[in-house]
């Protein structure tokens, strides 16, 4: 199956590596240069000196870091952007020799793009176990046959410390601050994103429990709904005063938060190797790294609550991953 990749201008694309075709072209070009240089004494040394750093760079093809090579396409929940692009992706590259390439978005939207063959990946990470069911079975393309639940993190209210509402957020109940005139609230779409769905639940529950009908109006509005992978940037740039985030997501992005007092709503992250993955070995390497000591250390530092070993739903876990997973 042909791998579909977003364009370079795609805002959801992160750490894109060169395509296999591009790497092949570069390889042929270098081979040609080397052949031409063999007849020009000084040129031979120049070519070798230029090529040496690339061969020894962490994560490069043929790297001795872990013996792997080539891209690993990871489709993951947008709440993991900071963790994936700043920590896990680079560390995985250096440790294994593979190249992390990621695309983030709302979990349900990602699943729909996989199911519709709009986007293909090797690994899928969702913020809700139920999203995986939309990729199971022949009717859904048999993309997923098993998944592991590896981490959780609570829903919280994040705020811009420079906002004029920051002092109120820190001193008043969260459900009161949200109804103050002029406050700019951000959340994700409840129809496509698990976090958006949890947010709507929090707003509706608090509206009833605290006799605050204004919260229902917020839950019913669409003017405060934004793509998950843009919400952090909007808050940090001052376009929003507050936003609903997962605690670990906010910590990784350096966003101050307050708890949603009275609510106990959390994300439950799952991971799987997609059936029909272009490179199953590379996919397994990524899952093993994320769930191993290296990945766990970074996830812990970001405030995720890990499940060790991660319980598995479904059947067909690859033999190479059975050491880091447990069957129910």
Q: Which CATH number fits domain 65-152+268-327: 3.30.950.10, 3.90.1150.10, 1.10.1380.10, 3.40.190.10?
A: 3.40.190.10
> pLDDT (tens digit, 9 = 90+) per residue, 116-174?
999 999 999 999 999 999 999 999 999 999 999 999 999 999 999 999 999 999 999 99
CA 326 to chain centre: 23
Phi first, then psi, for residue 214 (nearest 5°) are: -60, -30
Whole-number mean pLDDT of the chain? 83
CATH superfamily of this structure's domain 154-266:
Periplasmic binding protein-like II (3.40.190.10)
- To which residue do tokens 């070519």 refer? 47
**With 0-12 CB in 10 A as exposed, 13-18 as middle and 19+ as buried, what is 185?**
buried
> pLDDT (tens digit, 9 = 90+) per residue, 32-58?
433 333 333 333 332 233 233 333 333
Q: Write down the pTM of the prediction.
A: 0.74
> pLDDT (tens digit, 9 = 90+) per residue, 174-184?
999 999 999 99
**With 0-12 CB in 10 A as exposed, 13-18 as middle and 19+ as buried, what is 75?**
buried
- Whether the pLDDT of residue 114 is over 50: the answer is yes
What pLDDT sits at residue 182?
96
CB burial string 139-152: b at 16+ within 10 A, e below: eebebbbbbbbbbb
- Whether the pLDDT of residue 11 is over 50: the answer is no
Handedness of CA 64, 70, 75, 80 (dihedral sign): positive
Pairing of strands 305-306, 146-159: antiparallel
> pLDDT (tens digit, 9 = 90+) per residue, 82-100?
899 999 999 999 999 999 9
> What is the Cα–Cα distance from 228 to 190, expressed in whole angstroms?
11
SS3 164: coil
- To which residue do tokens 């080397």 refer? 34
SS3 209: helix
> What is the Cα–Cα distance from 78 to 213, expressed in whole angstroms?
30
> What is the Cα–Cα distance from 109 to 225, expressed in whole angstroms?
15
- Whether the pLDDT of residue 187 is over 70: the answer is yes
Tell me which residue of 159, 154, 150, 194 sits closest to 298, measured CA to CA. 150
Instruction: Give the residue-averaged pLDDT of 100-108.
Output: 94
Query: Alpha helix (H) ranges present in the chain?
Result: 20-37, 41-56, 81-82, 89-96, 107-115, 129-132, 166-171, 174-177, 194-209, 213-220, 228-236, 247-253, 280-291, 293-301
């Amino acid at each position: 199956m042909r791998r579909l990749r977003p364009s370079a201008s795609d805002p959801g694309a992160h750490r894109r590596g060169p395509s296999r075709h591009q790497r092949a072209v570069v390889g042929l070009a270098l081979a040609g240069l080397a052949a031409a240089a063999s007849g020009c004494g000084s040129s031979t040394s120049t070519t070798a000196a230029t090529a040496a750093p690339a061969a020894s760079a962490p994560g490069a093809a043929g790297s001795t870091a872990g013996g792997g090579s080539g891209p690993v396409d990871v489709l993951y929940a947008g709440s993991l952007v900071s963790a994936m692009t700043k920590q896990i992706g680079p560390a995985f590259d250096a440790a294994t020799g593979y190249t992390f390439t990621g695309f983030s978005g709302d979990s349900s939207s990602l699943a729909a793009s996989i199911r519709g063959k709009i986007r293909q990946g090797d690994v899928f990470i969702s913020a809700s176990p139920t999203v995986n069911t939309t990729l199971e079975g022949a009717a859904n393309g048999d993309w997923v046959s098993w998944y592991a639940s590896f981490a959780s993190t609570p829903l919280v209210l994040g705020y811009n410390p420079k906002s004029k509402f920051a002092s109120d957020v820190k001193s008043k109940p969260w459900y009161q601050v949200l109804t103050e005139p002029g406050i700019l609230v951000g959340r994700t779409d409840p129809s496509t994103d698990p976090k958006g769905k949890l947010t709507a639940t929090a707003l509706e529950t608090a509206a009833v429990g605290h006799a605050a009908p204004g919260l229902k109006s917020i839950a019913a509005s669409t003017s405060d709904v934004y793509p998950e992978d843009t919400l952090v940037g909007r808050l940090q740039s001052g376009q929003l005063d507050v936003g609903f985030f997962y605690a670990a997501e906010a910590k990784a992005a350096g966003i101050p938060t307050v708890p949603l007092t009275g609510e106990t709503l959390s994300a439950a992250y799952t991971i799987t190797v997609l059936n029909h993955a272009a490179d199953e070995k590379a996919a397994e390497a990524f899952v093993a790294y994320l769930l191993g000591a290296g990945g766990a250390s970074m996830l812990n530092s970001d405030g995720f609550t890990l499940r060790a070993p991660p319980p598995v739903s479904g059947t067909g876990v690859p033999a190479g991953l059975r050491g880091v997973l447990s069957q129910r």
